[in-house]
Amino acid sequence: MTVSIASSPRPFLHPRPGSALHCGKVSLDALARRFGTPLYVYSADQIVERLSLFQQALKGREPLVCYAVKANSALAILKLLADRGAGFDIVSGGELERVLAAAPQAVERVVFSGVGKTAAEIDLALKSGILQFNVESEAELALLAERATKLKKHARFALRVNPDVFADTHPYISTGLREHKFGIDIRHGLRIYKSVAGHRRLEAYGVSVHIGSQIRSAEPFGAAIARVSKLVGQLRSEGIALQAIDAGGGLGIDYHGGAFDAAAKVREYALALESGLGGFEGRLLVEPGRFLVAQAGALVARVLQVKRNGKKTFVITDAAMNDLIRPALYQAHHDIVPVTPRAGRPRLVDVVGPVCETGDFFAHDRKLRPVEPGDLVALLDAGAYGMAQSSNYNSRPRAAEVLVEGTRARLIRRRETMADLLGPERV
């Protein structure tokens, strides 16, 4: 697979006017006939390119790009990234199990975040030999010390500090202020690090920060890292020399189509971090998730009906909110395009699913080229927080997933069956 540092076009394109939408060189129409719908399709080439953008832009800092597994935890995608040097940011024991299943050799490149780590999850991570625990409270640090002592294991940790930097994003995915549940007030960082200095089983390896997701400006990242760097300097003066700064993730994308220069965005981000890091000479960790996979994925759905109710026109698809909940949950925008365009003027429609909820929608009053029952539509930029947040609501089996690399498409998750849904239950 050839990787260019320049930004490539989006992977979902009509190669020529009137042709079917393709992922790279593979027709989505052909994939739908082969694997059925709803269907998640991902471009391996773009995922690898996006990883390379971070690795190259930050190469002067000995970077470790820890992919945020929660964005899309498909085993094939984890292996794809691990094989190219990525680490992983996990937030549960289940995500660690996924890394161990997909790329056990990469476990030493895992950082474990999250506010509610259980003793069992900590034990699994200690036994597995992860790189770092991103500790989010003093109680968690005490629990980590207790479990490491009991298991006679060495635990590297970083306090996740809240720099109290505002990030202009959806309130559900803003995480860096004092009133949020995440992290520790940065003003208490020095005291907490000093309180465990010299602990037999704990190593103060780094400091971590994460101010939110889908942040389009680089400025808040630089401001947050500048405050973290100040703490690192205070610790150094107290004899506590940290080896790493974990800058978290959160770099946003454009969900509204048009040109998007990913390489320029990553360079801007890297410059902001460099400015904030100042004289810090240790290792830099970053945790992109959405930026690596969102625009590499699409949800392909088939039109079931085109229904007119008064002045409203509804395009009803076989995909639903259980397959992609972001529009219902966050009022998120996803571009929606016919896979094979028909002639005619766009018209205002609501694109909805068959789930028995008024909230089951993908778009309200959206201009869409004409579609008829049986046609395919693609919901773009769905590679992050699509399949990862899917459910079986209304007893609907979850979609299949396909990974496209060059001219090759392979099934990486089969479609669920009713036997899968009913299997764990007992009458």
Amino acid of residue 391: S
Q: Cα–Cα distances in Å, from 344 out to 19, 39, 221?
A: 15, 26, 45
CA angle 178, 184, 189 (to 5 degrees): 120
Tell me the catalytic residues.
356
CA distance 232 to 253: 30
The answer to whether 122 touches 136, Cβ cutoff 8 Å, is no
pLDDT at 6: 46
In the chain, how many H helices and how many E strands? 12, 21
How far is C-alpha 278 from the chain's CA centre?
28
pLDDT at 117: 97
Mean per-residue pLDDT pooled into runs of 10, the chain (427 residues) = 48 90 96 98 98 96 96 98 98 98 98 96 98 97 98 98 69 47 89 97 97 91 94 96 97 89 96 94 96 98 96 97 96 97 96 97 97 98 98 98 97 98 98
Angle between helices 119-128 and 138-151 (to 10 degrees): 50
- Distance between CA atoms of residues 188 and 186, nearest Å: 5
Query: Which residue in 317, 316, 313 sits closest to 301, CA to CA?
Result: 317
In the DSSP assignment, the letter for residue 15 is S
Residue 186 DSSP symbol:
G
User: Comparing C-alpha atoms, which of 403, 412, 413, 411 is closest to residue 45?
Assistant: 403
Token pair belonging to 373: 């029952």
Distance of alpha carbon 398 from alpha carbon 158, whole angstroms: 37
Domains of the chain in start order, with CATH, are 12-42+295-422 (2.40.37.10), 113-288 (3.20.20.10)
Please give the model's pTM, rounded to 2 decimal places. Answer: 0.94
CB of 107 within 8 A of CB of 128? yes
The whole-number pLDDT of residue 399 equals 98
d(CA 130, CA 324): 32
**Which pair of tokens denotes residue 365?**
């009053």
Select from 373, 152, 423, 380 the least CA-distant residue to 253.
380
Cis amide linkage into residue 17, ω under 30° from 0: no
- Report the pLDDT value the prediction gives residue 5, as an integer from 0 to 100: 42
Residue type, 59: K
